Amino acid sequence: MDTIQAARELGKAIQLDERYVKMMLAQQKSDEDQGLQKMIADFTEIRTKLNTQIGQKEKDGALISALDGEMKSLYQQIFENENMTAYNEARNEMQEMLSFVNQIINGSAQGQDPGAIEYQASCGGDCGGCSGCS
C-alpha cells in the first residue's frame, strides 16, 4: 500500500471513530437547536453593528458600550447552551485525537518509531510563563 492509499484508509478510520461520530451528532443537535441558532444570528448581527460603530469617525460611546454588553451577554448564553457545550467538548476530543495522529505522522517523517510516539498535549497558545516549545 502506498502512502496516499494509507492516508485514505486513515481518513476512513477517522470517520468511523467514536469521537468523530460524537462530534457530528453534537454538531447536528446544535444546528437543529433553533434557540441556539437565533442567538448565534443575533450575536453576528450585533457584532456587525458594533464593528460598524467602531469604524465611524464620530463614535457613539454609549451605543458602542450597549452593543458590546449585548454581545458579551449573548456570547455567554451561547456557550452555556447545552448543545453548544456538548459540541465544543466533542470537537475538543476530536482535535486531541487529530493532534496525536499528526504527532505520529510528523514524528515518523523525522525517523521516530511510530509505535513509540506518545501523545504530547499541544500548546494552548498563551506563552506567558512558558519555558519554551519542545
Separation in Å, CA 67 to CA 35, 60, 61, 70, 73: 20, 11, 10, 5, 10
DSSP class of residue 110?
Answer: T
Cα separation, 60 vs 52, whole angstroms: 11
Question: What pTM was computed for the model?
Answer: 0.78
User: pLDDT of 22-79, one tens digit each?
Assistant: 999 999 999 999 999 999 999 999 999 999 999 999 989 999 999 999 999 999 999 9
User: Reduced to 3 states, what is the DSSP secondary structure of residue 29?
Assistant: helix
Confidence of residue 1 (pLDDT cuts 50, 70, 90): confident
Please, are residues 114 and 108 in contact by the beta-carbon 8 Å criterion? yes
Please, are residues 30 and 36 in contact by the beta-carbon 8 Å criterion? yes
Q: What is the mean pLDDT of the chain?
A: 91
CATH numbers and ranges of domains, the chain = 3-97 (1.20.1500)
Q: Give residues with Cβ within 8 angstroms of 129, minimum separation 6.
A: none
Percent helix, percent strand, percent coil in the chain, to nearest 5: 75, 0, 25
- Residue linked to cell 467602531: 54
